[in-house]
């Protein structure tokens, strides 16, 4: 009894601390909802750096993080950076009511996680909710991520986190069936299977409301590649209408508000490249759940230079996807694929787009065609559109009959493009070119995805859509002196020069050394 009184009393004492401060506009981005208080006044009121306060002005109220200053803000005033100012919209010089908030509820849960306790769905929802309200500092969010990494996450926690992330964004229900999705764990240059699979599946009568990402460190994301042909930033209602009508879309996920907590979580995971498996699973599956996917295929490339480098790890990840998917009502199949080498010939938006179109036209790089058909076939079997073992052939037929190409053109047109004269050669690429030729005979031992992406980026990709790398050789090819190995494409002479410099610094196509070394043995 006494204990609970004690706790109540503590909260009451806190509630006494209310201040009325004059609004001062600090016209600068702070990278978060941050306000500046005069250090002396803050300390007198038991307010310290990193504390959260509630600001009230008129009917609006926001929660902000406190930073202190000795001179920028005088006692009696409160400085609002751009973000806080535009959220609260106070009058300049008007009074803002300031109140110390209680400590975020999450802190206790994060400490529990640190101590190895399993969190329940409500606790996880609270953490994600407070992340979205900017109530947690970078350090606190990092502590949560770190403890998820070290302590691991139970299946219950992953499901809880997925649902919590889903709840932070929009969701939609197509009221159609079957709704499909796909995902690739990433890291393989040129791996543009999405743009082949989506039209195949839509041509086969399925629904695929595909949201894709832009490149972050790679030379092209699916959204960048698709954008060489049409718009990819559709409002959510237009996207839904299009999928209902023609079965598919390929849009940029960043333009719509699906599973929006995910972006914040990625920002926390990035600096240390922390990828707690449970958070990775939740982050991917929340996007699938938000679009109402019933069936989903996951591409897990394994090899040097990609995220997953060990087959055993890939198999465990595949199992986890399938298990957690089941708990979320999504039937998942995961394919472990070879991530050692790039897929297709082109690396960079326009060059990759050419590969995709060539495949849909019935020619193009065999590896891109094969991988896409394998994935589409598996998805077809998963969705019950055909018998086990028949999917691959049906996917091939969708390409050979040009039905997939027709569906792709329909998607391009629906998204504001013009498919009338579209073909693999009509997509414009950079007019400045440099060809790297073999200087001695040898066998191509390895094509490094990361370094090829870096080359393409030096040439201007992804923002220069026509920039990139075109591969003339494949892993295992034997080349003679003078044989072309790759072309660099760029939209300007100076960027081409930069890319050539990068090329000369690093041999993206490991060749002579390895061959000579192996001859010596």
Minimal distance, residue 500 CB to a second copy, in Å: 11
Restricting to residues 191-250, name those near a second copy by CB under 8 A: 216-217
Q: Which of 114, 132, 424, 500 binds a second copy (CB under 8 A)?
A: 114
Instruction: State how far the Cα of 190 lies from the Cα of 508, in Å rounded to an integer.
Output: 15
Question: Closer CB to a second copy, residue 435 or residue 505?
Answer: 505
Question: Closer CB to a second copy, residue 105 or residue 510?
Answer: 510
Instruction: State how far the Cα of 298 lies from the Cα of 66, in Å rounded to an integer.
Output: 43
Alpha-carbon torsion angle 354, 356, 362, 366, nearest 10? 100
Q: Does 13 bind a second copy (CB under 8 A)?
A: yes
Question: Closer CB to a second copy, residue 105 or residue 507?
Answer: 507
Question: What is residue 299's three-state secondary structure?
Answer: strand
Alpha-carbon torsion angle 261, 263, 267, 273, nearest 10? 100
Instruction: State how far the Cα of 449 lies from the Cα of 338, in Å rounded to an integer.
Output: 12
Instruction: State how far the Cα of 247 lies from the Cα of 62, in Å rounded to an integer.
Output: 41
Name the segment binding a second copy (CB under 8 A); options: 4-12, 118-126, 187-195, 432-440: 4-12
Question: Closer CB to a second copy, residue 3 or residue 59?
Answer: 3
Q: Which of 270, 423, 431, 518 binds a second copy (CB under 8 A)?
A: 270
Query: In the chain, what are the helix, strand and coil shares in percent, each to the nearest 5?
Result: 45, 20, 35
Minimal distance, residue 512 CB to a second copy, in Å: 11
Q: Does 67 bind a second copy (CB under 8 A)?
A: yes
Q: Does 117 bind a second copy (CB under 8 A)?
A: no
Q: Does 145 bind a second copy (CB under 8 A)?
A: yes
Q: What is the DSSP letter of 20?
A: E
Query: Could you tell me the two tokens for 230?
Result: 């049409």
Residue 81 in contact with residue 36, Cβ under 8 Å?
yes
Name the segment binding a second copy (CB under 8 A); options: 92-100, 144-152, 378-386, 466-474: 144-152
Half-sphere exposure of 159 (CA within 13 A, CB side): 14
Can 275 be counted among the known catalytic residues? yes
Residue tagged active-site, from 275, 370, 477, 497: 275
Burial bucket for residue 11 (CB in 10 Å: 0-12, 13-18, 19+): exposed
Q: Which of 59, 92, 139, 389 binds a second copy (CB under 8 A)?
A: 139
Burial bucket for residue 265 (CB in 10 Å: 0-12, 13-18, 19+): buried
Restricting to residues 447-506, name those near a second copy by CB under 8 A: 454, 457-458, 463, 498, 501-502, 505-506
Binding mask 68-107 for a second copy (x = CB under 8 A): -x--x----------------------------------x
Q: What is the 3-class SS of 436-489, one letter each residue?
A: EECCCCEECCEECHHHHHHHHHHCCCCCCCCCEEEECCCCCCEECCCCEEEEEE
Q: Does 440 bind a second copy (CB under 8 A)?
A: no
Q: Which of 20, 49, 177, 316 binds a second copy (CB under 8 A)?
A: 49
Question: Closer CB to a second copy, residue 273 or residue 420?
Answer: 273
DSSP letters along 137-199, please?
-HHHHHHHHHHHHHH---HHHHHHHHHHHHHTSB------S-BEEEEE----TT--THHHHHH
Q: Which of 31, 94, 205, 428 binds a second copy (CB under 8 A)?
A: 31
Q: Which residues are catalytic?
A: 275
Binding region for a second copy (CB under 8 A): 1-2, 5-6, 9-10, 12-13, 16, 26, 28-29, 31, 36, 43-44, 46, 48-50, 67, 69, 72, 107, 110-111, 114, 116, 137-143, 145-147, 149-151, 216-217, 267-268, 270-274, 454, 457-458, 463, 498, 501-502, 505-507, 510, 513-514, 517
């Amino acid at each position: 009894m006494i204990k609970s009184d004690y706790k109540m009393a503590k909260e009451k004492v806190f509630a006494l601390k209310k201040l009325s401060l004059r609004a001062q506009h600090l016209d600068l981005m702070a990278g978060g909802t941050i306000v500046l208080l005069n250090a002396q006044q803050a300390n007198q009121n038991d307010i310290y750096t990193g504390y959260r306060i509630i600001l009230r002005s008129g009917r609006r109220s926001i929660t902000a993080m406190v930073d202190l200053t000795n001179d920028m803000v005088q006692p009696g005033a409160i400085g609002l950076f751009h973000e806080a100012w535009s959220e609260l919209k106070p009058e300049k010089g008007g009074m803002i009511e300031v109140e110390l908030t209680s400590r975020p509820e999450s802190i206790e849960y994060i400490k529990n996680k640190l101590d190895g306790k399993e969190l329940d769905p409500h606790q996880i929802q609270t953490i994600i909710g407070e992340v979205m309200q900017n109530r947690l500092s970078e350090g606190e969010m990092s502590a949560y991520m770190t403890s998820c990494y070290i302590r691991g996450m139970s299946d219950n926690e992953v499901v809880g986190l997925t649902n919590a992330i889903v709840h932070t964004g929009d969701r939609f229900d197509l009221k159609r069936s079957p709704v499909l999705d796909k995902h690739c764990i990433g890291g393989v240059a040129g791996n543009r299977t999405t743009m082949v699979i989506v039209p195949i599946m839509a041509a086969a009568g399925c629904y695929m409301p595909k949201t894709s990402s832009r490149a972050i460190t790679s030379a092209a994301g699916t959204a960048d590649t698709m954008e060489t042909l049409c718009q990819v930033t559709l409002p959510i209602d237009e996207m839904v209408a299009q999928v209902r009508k023609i079965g598919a879309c390929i849009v940029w996920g960043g333009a719509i508000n699906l599973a929006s907590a995910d972006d914040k979580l990625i920002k926390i995971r990035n600096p240390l490249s922390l990828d707690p498996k449970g958070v990775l699973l939740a982050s991917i599956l929340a996007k699938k759940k938000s679009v109402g996917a019933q069936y989903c295929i996951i591409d897990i490339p394994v090899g040097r230079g990609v995220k997953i480098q060990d087959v055993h790890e890939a198999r465990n990840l595949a199992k986890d996807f399938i298990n957690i998917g089941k708990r979320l009502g999504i039937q998942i199949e995961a394919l472990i694929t070879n991530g050692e080498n790039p897929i297709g010939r082109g690396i960079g938006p326009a060059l990759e787009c050419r590969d995709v179109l060539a495949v849909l036209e019935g020619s193009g790089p065999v590896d891109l065609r094969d991988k896409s058909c394998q994935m589409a076939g598996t998805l077809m079997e998963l969705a019950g559109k055909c018998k086990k073992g028949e999917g691959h052939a049906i996917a091939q037929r969708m390409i050979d009959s040009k039905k997939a190409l027709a569906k792709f053109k329909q998607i391009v047109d629906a998204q504001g493009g013009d498919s009338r004269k579209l073909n693999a050669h009509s997509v414009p690429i950079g007019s400045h070119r440099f060809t790297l030729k073999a200087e001695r005979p040898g066998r191509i031992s390895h094509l490094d995805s990361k370094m090829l992406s870096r080359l393409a980026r030096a040439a201007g990709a992804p923002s220069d859509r026509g920039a990139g790398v075109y591969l003339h050789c494949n892993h295992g090819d034997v080349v003679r002196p003078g044989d072309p190995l790759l072309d660099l494409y760029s939209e300007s002479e100076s960027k081409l020069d930069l890319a050539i410099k990068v090329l000369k610094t690093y041999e993206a196509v490991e060749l002579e050394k390895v061959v000579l070394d192996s001859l010596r043995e």
